[in-house]
Chain A
């Protein structure tokens, strides 16, 4: 982990990982969508709309997972001052916000035929909505300062405070018995859904995770390159007799 904190080593590592992650994302999403849309049964209660779950559930897992990643990276950045940790957190935030929005939108689309309403103020829905606002506040705080380093540190503290919401989302369906159904895949007594639905779900989850890794690596690589270009420009400007004043 700390070996990768070196930006040059990270660039080399990410160049090797990127095609594998891209392949995995393509395969997982294609196979998951194919199985989920054409080769899995409809639900006896929900009918065909159950297929929305193959997008909704992986997106929700990613929304929580990405926030956890941001909180971890923020902790690493605040304690050990790894610059790469800040770049990773910064690159992951808009992706996490996107997954959260996808979760809310697909959940709403599924809720209309199933629950008969686009939105209810259920504990799970509300806490995910708060997660979305935490993502937006985190991104806004990063960009609110003229001094970029100050925004990075402030946002890192906020990310750690906001992490309090993640366990609340996870257990909201058990603490408050409201409308959203409890977990059916990650359970102590094993998954409670049939293999014909579990397989496309897990394939989609793998595809989503790989897709996130692809986007994250691309964003981190371009952020590192942008920093390098900026540093080179500064060196160039300092050497220029008209600008550097030497």
Chain B
């Protein structure tokens, strides 16, 4: 089936060889979120109120940091052109890269988020909802991010530009991600918000490989 396992293995192997890249994203996530108790003061009630939003915003920014390199290195050393002319669909390459990005960045963020939740006094009852919301939301960051990374490929100051393009489009994920946690805090059922996040994920999975591959073909023309 269009060598998907081989493509995924290649991406994961490359990511493991440069493990400091994804480690930097997670460290940024933790460190930047832990600036908030210093910024707004350590009162438990205030921190508990803003914890969900802080964790989500920091996850968004941490994903931005690592997305710039999604296609960059392959573009610079020419392997992207080889992949484009190889008898595998470019959409499959994007899917493998997006999945590998989530496994090496989104998943570590997801694992690190309960630690942050405890440090920021998020009610323990809401941590489950937050993990579920992040599990559905972070892949959207990776796949929507793949579109952005393909669009800015070869641009000057690509990293800043990437954030400028993607952050407005990611606002819905942020809104429903935080809404799911807030619902759990107030003892409501977070399922409707989680279902919307799931819908975003399905849309991103369905559209991102095609759009991103189309943008990559233009970059390689």
Contacts and interface: CB of A to CB of B under 8 A. Distances in A.
A171 to B, nearest CB: 14
Contacts of B215: 153-154, 157
A126 B152 CA distance: 25
A153 B218 contact: yes
B2 to A, nearest CB: 24
Contact of B169 (A140, A145, A162): A162
A134 B168 contact: yes
A157 to B, nearest CB: 5
Interface residues of A, number: 22
A161 B218 CA distance: 16
A145 B152 CA distance: 8
Contacts of A134: 168-169
B151 A136 contact: no
Nearest to B218: A153
Interface residues of B, number: 21
Interface string B119-162: 00000000000000000000000000001000110111110010
A150 B164 contact: no
B215 to A, nearest CB: 5
Given A141-B155, A141-B161, A161-B147, 11 more contacts: A130-B168, A137-B161, A137-B164, A137-B165, A141-B151, A147-B154, A150-B221, A154-B152, A154-B219, A157-B215, A161-B211
Interface of A: 126, 130, 133-134, 136-137, 140-141, 144-147, 150-151, 153-154, 157-158, 161-162, 164-165
21 contacts: A130-B171, A133-B168, A134-B169, A136-B164, A137-B161, A140-B164, A141-B161, A141-B165, A144-B157, A150-B218, A150-B219, A151-B155, A153-B215, A154-B152, A154-B218, A157-B147, A157-B151, A157-B211, A157-B215, A157-B218, A158-B151
Interface of B: 147, 151-152, 154-158, 161, 164-165, 167-169, 171, 211, 214-215, 218-219, 221
10 closest A-B pairs by beta carbon, nearest first, are: A144-B155, A133-B168, A137-B165, A153-B218, A154-B151, A130-B168, A137-B164, A157-B215, A145-B155, A144-B161
